[in-house]
Amino acid sequence: MMRKLYDFELSGNCQKIRMLLSFLSLDYERVNIDLRKRDQMDPEFIALNSLHKVPVLDDDGLILRDSAAIMIYLIRKYGRPEWYPESPEAMAEIQQWLSFSANEVFNGLAMTRAIVIFKRDADLEVARTIAATALQEMEHRLRDREWLALDRFTIAELACYPYTALIHEGELSLDDYPSIRGWCRRIEALEHYVGMPGLPYPHP
């Protein structure tokens, strides 16, 4: 089987997929799409994703875009269904956090980082206000529980982790959020966890 992940090393959305592929012990080829060089505008890549965004997964000819869609596909096809159960209640619980990741986390935490390190043309104060709301919500949720959704690790955690753990690159801090810091450490301690620039790498 041929499996390719079109990704950018510094992308938190791509990191979600790299982590999940590692957790599932799935081999794949990484194809670098350097957003700084505008590789996403190459006709060959646009043929895969006309929205010219990463990640894109080619799973033996099946082309998928969007990190949440890719995560759901990989979980349901290759195992660990407990990370995205079929019960309506569990799916809804997880979906709340997938939406939170696409909205509050992306528009706050990810955008703040993008403005600082990639010089994205956006309003930094607006992004930081959204980021503060996101962090407060996550801290409140995690104050008396280990995981955002259900009673175990699910793709809700994967969806929210990378950009949360990368907020120092947006000149923000988790110093005032002990519950989030503990949650990050639990994820980083999982077997087959993989890091990226700005995130911890597994200890030998």
What SS3 state is found at 130? helix
Please compute the mean of the pLDDT values over residues 95-105 and round it to a whole number: 98
Please compute the mean of the pLDDT values over residues 144-151 and round it to a whole number: 96
pLDDT digits (tens, 9 = 90+) for 112-131: 999 999 999 999 999 999 99
Split at pLDDT 50, 70, 90, the class of 204 is: very low
> Which one, of 6, 5, 67, 8, lies nearest residue 35 by Cα?
8
> Which one, of 112, 116, 183, lies nearest residue 149 by Cα?
183
Class of domain 3-79: alpha beta
> Which one, of 50, 70, 72, lies nearest residue 59 by Cα?
70
What's 169's DSSP letter? G
- From residue 144, alpha-carbon distances to 82, 105, 123, 141, 148 in Å are 22, 21, 34, 7, 10
Amino acid 201: pLDDT: 86
CATH fold of 83-188: Glutathione S-transferase Yfyf (Class Pi); Chain A, domain 2 (1.20.1050)
Q: Is the pTM of this model over 0.85?
A: yes
Please compute the mean of the pLDDT values over residues 122-150 and round it to a whole number: 98
Please compute the mean of the pLDDT values over residues 11-25 and round it to a whole number: 97
pLDDT digits (tens, 9 = 90+) for 161-198: 999 999 999 999 999 999 999 999 999 999 999 999 99
Instruction: Report the amino acid identity of residue 1.
Output: M
Amino acid 1: pLDDT: 72
- C-alpha to C-alpha distance for 174 and 66, rounded to whole angstroms: 27
Beta carbons within 10 angstroms of residue 133's beta carbon: 13
For the chain, what are the domain ranges? 3-79, 83-188
